[in-house]
Amino acid sequence: MNPVMTFLVWSMSFGIPLQSGPDAALGAASVGPDARIRIDISATDDLKGEILRHVAQGFHSVGGVRLVEEDPQWTIKIVTLNVQDKEQNISALGLSVVVLEHGPHLDMLFTLTQAWHYILKAGLLQKDQPLEVGMRQLVAGIDQMPRADNLTVLSQHRMCLIPMAKLPAACQEIAKNFGQTYLGSAPVTPVAGAQ
């Protein structure tokens, strides 16, 4: 079999989905049915626990999500700012929500680069032909890219100011919005009487 065809068949075995249609231009990410999400909250300990509980409840209605501490596909960063009244009671809460997408595509690119190095060193391509020259240039460019363990892409940033009484609804809305925007899921309607 032609070495180039072998390489193409091998690289396609990664199962990397090709995006097409209107979402491809927007860079919509494809997330599997079991998305791994880390919630990173900057708040006081009691408020942090409350926000995490409400966001987790929101993800129950989305489905297909695991909240994790390590190896996430996504990180939702929630930064809070207390707004106090004259008596120093918290009357409202400023929320800044940032969604970060971790870069598995870069890991796949570096893995493919290792395969390309092998193909070039093994001499499986005709010397000085356009494909061989182009592959050498591509590999040289990728080899010069900076490498970092936690490369992320900023996907969304939202800020809001909410009364404390509306904190549960706002946190659940964060999860539901994430599910609709990135997982393409419609909120699951709970069955009457189910807990």
Are residues 61 and 156 both part of a single domain? yes
Residues of the chain with pLDDT under 50: 1-32, 187-195
Q: Where are the beta strands (DSSP E) in the chain?
A: 35-42, 65-67, 74-84, 90-102, 152-163
Are residues 39 and 128 both part of a single domain? no
Are residues 83 and 113 both part of a single domain? no
30-85 tens-digit pLDDT: 444 578 999 999 998 889 999 999 999 999 888 788 999 988 888 999 999 988 88
Domain count, the chain: 2
What φ, ψ does residue 7 adopt, rounded to 5°?
Answer: -60, -45
Cα–Cα distance for residue pair 30/182, rounded to 1 Å: 8
Query: Would you tell me the crossing angle of helices 167-178 and 45-60 to the nearest 10 degrees?
Result: 50
Are residues 180 and 88 both part of a single domain? yes
Report yes or no on 5 lying in a domain: no
Predicted structure pTM score: 0.58
Report yes or no on 12 lying in a domain: no
Domain housing 175 = 31-103+151-187
